[in-house]
């Protein structure tokens, strides 16, 4: 990548500086294990999933004042000169996505030698908090990474701030039939159907990472049922080891609770919870909460986990402190790079047909983008076999890779597992527990924390979740 062809900049989320050249030394994130690590953004992906559904409460109000057929203030931007491509994303330099997308820029430059690429590094928090404002400006980029979900991509698509890519995809022959691409479809701000406003390069799912070396030491096999899983954890407790590394102060807590609820759910009850198709099976949630309380009492989960965020729980698994870590595929590349003292592997939650997961965040083209054709060319490159295969090599979960071309063991594992989850006839990807209504993520974390602490009963925990859910559903007119 030529320094003369690509300009780099970083906005400060606190100062809200909007020029590519601006760098605020005070607020630049600190890299490294004790600061903002390469997984910091990933931890927030789930911690802040409450934003995925805010459109239910705010999107209709926004739509009342913003034209849905064009952008909100002034319509389409004037056409650019076709000589500059402005690209934004928030992935840190050492992430698999950043590696792949930088390669995509290289390929783009080879195909467009007369075009200057202006790349600007954002932060996840910045796009989460100010994405709509950044899109509604004449300085909007031509293409950028954006947050999937009702409250984010749904909100700005409904506000007319994104380009409808439906016809572009057809004209260019893009194969977006993969169900992971449903996260780019929006109708009246709601995700999963309608017109296409974004495409994703990758998928994600939650599974059970385990220390294979310790499993072998104690003669343990991969469990296939919940009872077998509990037997495995009891063996560790009997040998003085707390089995589960759980960041109860962050998304891993709600993810585990959701997995236990999914153990007693099917596609119909899942549809009721996620898409408001019928009555929610709260008995499944109460059984899940009772199981978590039981696991705390038996020592499978430490009460101290209530103060542990996701990153610390992942680091503790990497260090070999805990033999089991229930969390997402996004950890795979890091574990492959960082774990050197033991063998690790992953299995899906024992006995479940349904598992948390979905397609990843989106590439979108703002309605005010000045060089849309260049943006489409770039999107096409990110979905090419070369870039998709590179994602797999780097430990990500590509959505359009050649499986035979991926040689990385962790890439092979995660890609194959994600494909199986997508093609499953008896279950598959169940999205995430806080997607249905706004604010639910905070409620899930709060109640799960009190459940682990023992300050709330399972019944009280589920009542708290149900109250917030039903209020949000009513606010959405569902």
Q: Which pLDDT does position 341 carry in this prediction?
A: 97
Do residues 181 and 273 share a domain?
no
Do residues 211 and 229 share a domain?
yes
Q: Which pLDDT does position 80 carry in this prediction?
A: 74
CA angle 309/430/63 to nearest 5° reads 90
Q: What is the mean pLDDT of the chain?
A: 84
Torsion of CA 453, 457, 459, 465, to 10 degrees: -30
307 and 453 Cβ atoms separated by less than 8 Å:
no
Residue with tokens 């899930």: 444
- On whether residue 120 sits in a domain, the answer given is yes
CB atoms near residue 66 (< 10 Å)? 20
Of 434, 438, 436, residue with least CA distance to 447: 434
Which residues form the domain of 281?
205-358+426-475
Q: How would residue 397 be classed by pLDDT, with cut points 50, 70 and 90?
A: very high
What is the rounded average pLDDT of the residues 73-101?
80
Q: In what order do the strands lie in the sheet with 195-196?
A: 190-191, 185-187, 195-196
Measured distance CA(13)–CA(125) in Å, rounded: 7
- The answer on pLDDT for 25 being more than 70 is no
Q: How would residue 78 be classed by pLDDT, with cut points 50, 70 and 90?
A: low
Is the Cα dihedral 44, 395, 374, 108 positive or negative? positive
Do residues 40 and 157 share a domain?
yes
- On whether residue 413 sits in a domain, the answer given is no
Number of domains in the chain: 2
Do residues 123 and 235 share a domain?
no
Do residues 230 and 158 share a domain?
no
Backbone angles phi, psi at 51, to 5 degrees: -65, -20
> 405, 436, 467: which is the final residue of a domain?
405
- On whether residue 382 sits in a domain, the answer given is yes
What is the rounded average pLDDT of the residues 231-250?
97
- On whether residue 184 sits in a domain, the answer given is yes
Do residues 242 and 174 share a domain?
no
pLDDT 10s digits, 417-465 = 999 998 877 669 999 998 887 778 889 999 999 999 999 999 999 999 9
What is the rounded average pLDDT of the residues 70-80?
47
Do residues 338 and 396 share a domain?
no
- On whether residue 417 sits in a domain, the answer given is no
Do residues 318 and 467 share a domain?
yes
Measured distance CA(339)–CA(137) in Å, rounded: 44
139 and 76 Cβ atoms separated by less than 8 Å:
no
pLDDT 10s digits, 150-198 = 778 888 999 999 999 999 999 999 989 888 999 999 998 888 899 999 9
Do residues 399 and 319 share a domain?
no
- On whether residue 414 sits in a domain, the answer given is no
Q: What is this structure's pTM?
A: 0.76
Do residues 330 and 365 share a domain?
no
CA angle 27/330/90 to nearest 5° reads 30
Do residues 128 and 233 share a domain?
no
Of 89, 88, 90, 92, residue with least CA distance to 39: 92
CATH code, domain with 471: 3.40.190.10
Do residues 133 and 241 share a domain?
no
- On whether residue 148 sits in a domain, the answer given is yes
């Amino acid at each position: 990548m030529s320094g003369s062809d690509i300009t780099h900049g970083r906005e400060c989320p606190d100062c809200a500086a909007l020029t590519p050249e601006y760098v605020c030394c005070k607020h630049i994130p600190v890299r490294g294990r004790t600061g903002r690590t390469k997984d910091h953004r990933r931890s927030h992906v789930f911690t802040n999933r409450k934003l995925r559904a805010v459109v239910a409460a705010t999107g209709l109000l926004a739509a009342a004042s913003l034209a849905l057929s064009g952008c909100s203030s002034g319509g389409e931007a004037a056409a650019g000169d076709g000589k500059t491509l402005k690209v934004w994303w928030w992935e840190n330099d050492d992430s698999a996505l950043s590696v792949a997308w930088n390669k995509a820029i290289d390929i783009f430059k080879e195909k467009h030698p007369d075009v200057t690429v202006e790349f600007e590094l954002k932060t996840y928090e910045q796009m989460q908090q100010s994405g709509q404002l950044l899109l509604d400006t004449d300085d909007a980029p031509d293409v950028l990474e954006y947050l999937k979900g009702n409250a984010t991509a749904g909100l700005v698509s409904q506000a007319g701030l994104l380009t409808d890519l439906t016809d572009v995809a057809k004209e260019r022959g893009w194969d977006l039939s993969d169900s992971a691409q449903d996260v780019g479809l929006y109708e009246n701000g709601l995700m999963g159907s309608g017109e296409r406003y974004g495409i994703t390069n990758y998928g994600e799912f939650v599974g059970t990472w385990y220390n294979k070396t310790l499993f072998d030491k104690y003669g343990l096999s991969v469990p296939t049922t919940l009872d077998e899983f509990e037997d495995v954890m009891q063996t560790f407790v009997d040998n003085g080891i707390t089995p589960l590394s759980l960041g109860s102060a962050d998304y891993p807590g709600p993810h585990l609770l959701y997995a236990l609820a999914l153990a007693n759910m099917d596609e119909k009850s899942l549809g009721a919870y996620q898409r408001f198709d019928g009555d929610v099976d709260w008995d499944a949630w109460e059984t899940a909460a009772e199981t978590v309380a039981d696991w705390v009492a038996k020592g499978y989960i430490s009460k101290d986990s209530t103060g542990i965020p996701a990153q610390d729980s992942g680091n503790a698994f990497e260090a070999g402190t805990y033999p089991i870590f229930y969390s997402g595929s996004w950890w795979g590349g890091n574990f492959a790079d960082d774990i050197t003292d033991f063998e690790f592997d992953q299995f899906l939650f024992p006995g479940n047909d349904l598992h948390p997961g979905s397609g990843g965040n989106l590439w979108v083209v703002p309605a005010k983008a000045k060089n849309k054709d260049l943006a489409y060319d770039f999107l096409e490159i990110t979905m090419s076999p070369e870039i998709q295969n590179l994602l797999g090599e780097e430990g990500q979960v590509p959505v359009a890779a050649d499986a035979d071309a991926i040689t990385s063991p962790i890439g092979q594992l995660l890609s194959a597992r994600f494909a199986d989850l997508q093609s499953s006839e008896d279950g598959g990807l169940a999205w995430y527990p806080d997607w249905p209504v706004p604010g639910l993520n905070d409620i899930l974390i709060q109640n799960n924390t009190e459940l682990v602490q023992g300050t709330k009963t399972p019944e009280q925990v589920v009542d708290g979740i149900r109250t917030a859910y039903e209020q949000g559903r009513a606010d959405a007119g569902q």
